[in-house]
Amino acid sequence: MSTPESTSAPESTSAPESESSWDVVVVGGSIAGCATAIRFSRMGHRVALLDRKTMDDGHHKRLCTHFIQPHAVPLLAGLGLDHLYGPEWSVRTKAVFVTPGGVVEGPGLSYDPDQPGAHALNLERRVLDPALRESARRHGVEYLDGTGVESIGRDGSDWFLDTDGDRGPRRFRARLVVAADGRRSRLAKELGNPAESRPNERAALFGYFSGITTRADQRSVFVMHERDLACAYPLPGGRTQLVLFADKARVEGWGGADNRMREFLAYFDGLPDAPSTAGAVPEGGLLGYADYPSLLREPVVDSVPFVGDAALSLDPMSGVGCGFALVSADLLASSFADRSLSEDDREAGLAEYRERYSRVLLPHAEGICVDSLVGKDETSRRRMFETISADPELSRRYLALTGRMTLPAEFQRLFMRALMTRRRPAVKR
């Protein structure tokens, strides 16, 4: 795909006076952007990280449930963040699903008996985001907040980006530009990488509380009720995050902050398998959204790779946002691990990233988009979970699927085999 004419013009004579050259420029300073910048810096490249927002030390994303799936948890260590595994920063956890067909729960904390460290992590963004920015700086990344990209263009095989912001107009030259600028990606608009929108029929509300007694084993509980999913995440210090992904029609009438909170807590109290909210003390008001469609973009356009939400922003009910941001950054960096940034190596690395991204992440995305539609056959759904909950091995594999440790097609094969075995009549002797 060719670069749009407006972004591929040769260097203009009106270039900003302040100009610098880099090996890699990453646009967007959240999880995927910081992770990408750290990994390329550790490979010996000179990396600049640009973010339009001006951030203080405590700046963090608030609209996030921060449940990091087990497939992505080990990647934090490679970013210099292994200290965040400690109990003062996060809670090591595992999902338990209360479904229409029974409880799906595996033994122990690990998702995989062969991998004792395979657990999920409840790690709040107020902890993770500042830690990532600090780690990026510690690894030699030039982190420039308050620096928004106004345009991008080509200069031979390299790129230039004109920016404006707190430091005034600047031009950045780079051999590789990475788009990590979120679901409303400016670079996607500049480069002609439109998002494919998939409907999400659920709204979401969530809040933080003290005074809620969660399970002693630190499990994160997910209760499927009618068309909704109610979640309870244990956090450090005895705090709890409650999240409700509900059919939009259910929460439309919950107007007003006080009434919304009452209805929200009453909903959880009406679920027999959810923790009691009788002693719940809110830390603040509820957060959430009414409409959040999934957005899917091409992972590479005109030699610019897209990572994190800029490439794939899915229904938050799936809990993959933080994990897929870390994984996409890892897939990109790993594709360049044994390559230079010469034009030929760069194109080979981008081709490998595109292939790995399509193989590792897109199969999960398709299943998540299907789950975002609430109009399902409840009888079939109940039978499916009856089969899963009755089979310990299938339960373990289902947990591995939701933890993104196995692909949907692999689980589907195992499920169909279990279903056929269950239906097969016993042989009379």
Domains of the chain by start residue, with CATH = 5-61+127-197+294-367 (3.50.50.60), 67-123+200-289 (3.30.9.100), 375-423 (no CATH)
The share of the chain scoring above pLDDT 90, in percent, equals 83
Q: What is the pLDDT of residue 114?
A: 84
Band (378; pLDDT cuts 50, 70, 90): confident
Q: What is the pLDDT of residue 423?
A: 56
Residue ranges in 275-391 assigned as alpha helix (H):
321-335, 343-360, 362-371, 378-389
Residue ranges in 372-407 assigned as alpha helix (H):
378-389, 392-402
Residue 23 has pLDDT above 70, yes or no: yes
Q: What is the mean pLDDT of residues 246-274?
A: 93
Q: What is the mean pLDDT of residues 135-164?
A: 96
Our measurement of the distance from residue 155's CA atom to the centroid of its chain's CA atoms, rounded to an integer in Å, reads 33
Each residue of 87-103: pLDDT tens digit?
999 999 999 999 999 99
Cα separation of 158 and 8, whole Å?
11
φ/ψ (deg, to 5) at 57? -65, -25
> Are 329 and 35 spatial neighbours (Cβ–Cβ below 8 Å)?
yes
Mean pLDDT across the chain: 92
Q: What is the pLDDT of residue 42?
A: 97
Cα separation of 134 and 123, whole Å?
16
Cα separation of 11 and 150, whole Å?
14
Each residue of 46-93: pLDDT tens digit?
999 999 999 988 899 988 888 999 999 999 999 999 999 999 999 999
Q: What is the pLDDT of residue 17?
A: 59
Q: What is the pTM for the complete model shown? A: 0.92
The answer to which of 140-154, 346-360, 365-379, 402-416 has the lowest mean pLDDT is 365-379
Q: What is the pLDDT of residue 1?
A: 35
Each residue of 311-320: pLDDT tens digit?
999 999 999 9
The share of the chain scoring above pLDDT 70, in percent, equals 94
